[in-house]
C-alpha cells in the first residue's frame, strides 16, 4: 500500500467515534513482537530438529507434520497444566518449568530421556530463542518506532511468550523508546486474553481506549485488542492470509512503516 492507502474493515469502532477519530485520539501504541516487528531465523519445528540433532538424536525420519503435531499436543497439555497449577503470568522463564512438558512432547516423538537430558535440551532451546541470531527487530520497525516516539506517542510492548523479551529490545537499542514491556505465555493471561494489553495500559497511565495495539494474528492480537477496547491494527507482511480473516473495525496495513502515515502526532 502507498501512503494513506491503509484499509479499515467496515463497522463502527465505538458508539461515538468513527475509526479515524479514534486514530486521531490515540496517545499510546503497543506492539506485539513475533512477526509483527521481528523476524525469526527458522520455525519452532526447524529449531527443535536442529537442537535434537546437536544432541546426536536421530530426527531425519521425523516429518515436519509429526514435529508440529507433537508441539501442538504439548501446548494443549501445557495450557491445562498452567491453569490447574495456578501459575503466575511470568511463569515459564526457567528451564526447569518445562521438564514435564518437554518429556510429554519427546515421548510423543518416540524418545525417552533422563530428566537431566531433557533439562539440557530445554536450556539449549532457551539460549537459542533468546538470542538475537534467532529473532531480531526488523529495521523498518526500529525506524517506525523512532518516528512515532518523536511525534509524542507512548510506545510499549505486549507479547505472548514465556521469556522476558527485554534482551532483544536492548540488542536493537530501542529500550529508550519503550515505556513498558509486558509478556505472558500462560493460559488465562496470554493473548487473546487482554491481560498483557491492559497491564501495559495501567503501567503507562493511558486509558485503553486511547491505545492502539499492533499485531499480526487476528485470533490472538486483534481479538485481544478488541477485548481491551483498544484500536486494533493488523500488519500482514509476515502472514498475508490474515487479511481475509480481519474483523470489523480492524485497521489493516501491509508493513509496519505504514503506521507513520496513520499516526501523525498525539
Give the per-residue pLDDT at 20: 79
Helix (DSSP H) and strand (DSSP E) numbers for the chain: 10, 9
Burial category of 4 from C-beta neighbours within 10 Å (exposed 0-12, middle 13-18, buried 19 and up): exposed
* Side-chain half-sphere exposure of 262, counting CA atoms within 13 A: 34
Average pLDDT for runs of 10 along the chain of length 266? 50 56 95 97 91 88 90 95 98 97 94 95 96 95 98 98 96 97 98 98 98 98 98 96 92 96 89
- 7-40+135-262: in CATH 3.40.50.1000: yes
Q: What would the pLDDT profile of 111-137 be if each residue is shown by its tens digit?
A: 999 999 999 999 999 999 999 999 999
Give the per-residue pLDDT at 13: 44
Give the per-residue pLDDT at 59: 84
Mean pLDDT of the chain: 92
Phi then psi for 220, rounded to 5 degrees?
-110, -55
Global pTM value: 0.92
Length of the chain: 266
Amino acid at each position: 500500500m502507498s501512503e494513506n492507502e491503509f484499509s479499515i474493515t467496515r463497522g463502527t469502532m465505538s458508539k461515538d467515534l468513527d475509526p479515524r477519530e479514534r486514530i486521531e485520539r490515540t496517545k499510546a501504541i503497543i506492539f506485539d513482537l513475533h512477526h509483527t516487528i521481528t523476524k525469526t531465523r527458522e520455525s519452532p519445528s526447524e529449531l527443535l530438529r536442529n537442537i535434537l540433532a546437536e544432541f546426536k538424536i536421530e530426527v531425519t525420519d521425523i516429518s515436519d507434520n509429526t514435529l508440529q503435531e507433537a508441539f501442538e499436543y504439548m501446548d494443549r497439555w501445557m495450557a491445562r497444566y498452567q491453569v490447574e497449577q495456578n501459575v503466575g503470568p511470568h511463569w515459564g522463564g526457567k528451564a526447569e518449568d518445562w521438564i514435564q512438558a518437554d518429556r510429554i512432547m519427546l515421548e510423543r516423538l518416540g524418545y525417552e530421556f533422563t530428566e537431566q537430558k531433557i533439562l539440557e535440551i530445554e536450556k539449549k532451546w532457551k539460549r537459542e530463542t533468546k538470542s538475537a541470531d534467532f529473532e531480531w527487530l526488523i529495521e523498518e520497525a526500529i525506524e517506525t518506532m523512532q518516528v512515532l516516539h518523536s511525534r509524542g506517542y507512548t510506545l510499549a510492548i505486549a507479547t505472548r511468550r514465556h521469556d522476558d523479551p527485554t534482551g532483544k529490545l536492548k540488542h536493537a537499542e530501542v529500550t529508550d523508546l519503550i515505556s513498558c514491556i509486558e509478556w505472558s505465555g500462560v493460559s488465562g493471561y496470554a493473548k487473546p486474553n487482554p491481560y498483557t494489553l491492559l497491564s501495559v495500559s495501567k503501567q503507562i497511565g493511558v486509558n485503553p481506549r486511547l491505545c492502539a495495539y499492533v499485531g499480526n494474528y487476528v485470533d490472538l492480537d486483534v481479538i485481544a485488542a478488541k477485548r481491551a477496547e483498544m484500536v486494533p491494527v493488523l500488519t500482514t507482511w509476515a502472514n498475508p492470509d490474515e487479511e481475509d480473516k480481519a474483523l470489523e473495525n480492524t485497521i489493516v496495513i501491509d508493513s509496519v512503516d505504514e503506521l507513520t502515515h496513520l499516526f501523525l502526532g498525539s
